Amino acid sequence: MKSSTAIGTTATAEAYRGRFAPSPTGLLHQGSLLAAVGSWLDARAHGGKWLVRMEDLDRPRTVAGAAEAILRTLDALGLTSDEPVLWQSSRGEAYAQALERLRANHCVYRCTCTRSELSGPYAGHCRMHPPPADGPAAWRLLLSPHARIDFDDLFQGQQSFNADSIGDPVIFRRDGIAAYQLAVVVDDAFQGITHVVRGADLLESTAWQIGVFRGLGLPAPRFGHLPLVVEPDGSKLSKSRGAQAVSGWPPGEALERILTLLGYSPPAGLRHEPVPRILDWALSGWPPAGLAGRRAIALAT
């Protein structure tokens, strides 16, 4: 039995529903592909569904053709969405309704701070000094002061965040476009996602998103954060190396590379097997030993 509203679908019989939610701001690289493969393996290992959602909200940062290229790359690697791809650019109304609900629940406030006034976690200036009611403003989620958000991460264990140190996130931008932190929650709820498996760069975002779920009165899914792929010196992937698109790689090679990063030891020649066999092999060993507790994986020099 499912009950459905415009912004939320709640599965009462919990069947695993996972997802991969790329932003079409470029092609897939080793880091994003690791999240795709890891979320797919976790879903399949639990007999679950795996969905793809295209997070194409930020029009200025969207690269023409990137979304289609990402979907083609995923298909070639045997990672195909079990349901039609959901495009965030088509979901504006649901995000506006969610903002209304948060307003009705007194979980948001207007903020007119400019970028130059902001550094570090937002300390709640406009919560304490509400701006005039007219004129354009962003909306922030009301978490501060003193809220704590705890969750038990599938791979990273118990996590605890303090609202005062992460600040209140913008959930609706001044230009009238929903921010990632709201859109992702509205769509995870709408798609009935039970398990969010993604990169560890989003750990802090998870605390905010749990806050948004609470504000909307919706149950939060389970979260699992996979290690982030970084340069050999620990820095963020750079264009020159790891961030190179994987779309040109032969599928077997791309999968073998990602599985090795995840901690598997693929047997010689695995890359020459058909893609479904490679995925089956990985599935039988999921999760690989050593994945738990890992925040980052450095590329070899």
Which stretch in 1-9, 44-52, 119-127, 260-268 sits in contact with Zn ion by CB under 5 A?
119-127
Q: Give the N- to C-terminal CA distance of the chain in Å, as an integer.
A: 52
How far from 191 is each of 5, 11, 15, 259, CA to CA, in Å?
11, 9, 12, 28
Lookup: tokens for 255: 């999968």
What is the residue whose two structure tokens read 């029009």?
Answer: 59
DSSP designation for 78: T
How far from 43 is each of 3, 19, 125, 192, 286, CA to CA, in Å?
23, 8, 41, 14, 10
Q: Is 184 in the site for ligand GLU (CB under 6 A)?
A: yes
Residues in contact with ligand GLU, counted by CB under 6 A, come to a total of 7
Least Å from the CB of residue 234 to ligand GLU:
20
Of residues 58 and 164, the one with the C-beta less far from ligand GLU? 58
**CA-wise closest residue to 55 among 212, 181, 180, 172:** 180
Pick the binder of Zn ion from 85, 96, 123, 126 (CB under 5 A): 126
User: What beta strand segments (E) does the chain contain?
Assistant: 2-4, 9-11, 17-20, 49-54, 86-87, 108-111, 138-141, 148-153, 157-162, 170-172, 195-199, 222-226, 228-230, 296-298
Pick the binder of ligand GLU from 198, 225, 257, 271 (CB under 6 A): 198
Pick the binder of ligand GLU from 22, 48, 215, 266 (CB under 6 A): 22
How far from 35 is each of 39, 62, 227, CA to CA, in Å?
6, 20, 9
Q: Is 118 in the site for Zn ion (CB under 5 A)?
A: no
Least Å from the CB of residue 209 to ligand GLU:
8
Would you call 239 a catalytic residue per the annotation? Answer: yes
Which run of H or E residues covers position 154?
A: none
Least Å from the CB of residue 184 to ligand GLU:
5
Which stretch in 11-19, 26-34, 110-118, 267-275 sits in contact with Zn ion by CB under 5 A?
110-118
Least Å from the CB of residue 254 to ligand GLU:
18
Least Å from the CB of residue 33 to ligand GLU:
12
Which run of H or E residues covers position 102?
A: helix 92-104
Least Å from the CB of residue 178 to ligand GLU:
13
Which stretch in 81-89, 98-106, 124-132, 221-229 sits in contact with Zn ion by CB under 5 A?
124-132
User: What, of Zn ion, ligand GLU, none, does residue 168 touch, CB below 5 to 8 Å by kind?
Assistant: none
User: What, of ligand GLU, Zn ion, none, does residue 299 touch, CB below 5 to 8 Å by kind?
Assistant: none
Pick the binder of ligand GLU from 7, 8, 21, 190 (CB under 6 A): 21
Q: Is 125 in the site for Zn ion (CB under 5 A)?
A: yes
Peptide bond into 288 cis (omega under 30): no
User: Which residues, numbered 23-82, are part of the site for ligand GLU (CB under 6 A)?
Assistant: 23, 55
From 2, 49, 236, 239, the catalytic residue: 239
Peptide bond into 232 cis (omega under 30): no
Binding footprint of ligand GLU on the chain (CB under 6 A)? 21-23, 55, 184, 198, 202
* Residues involved in catalysis: 239
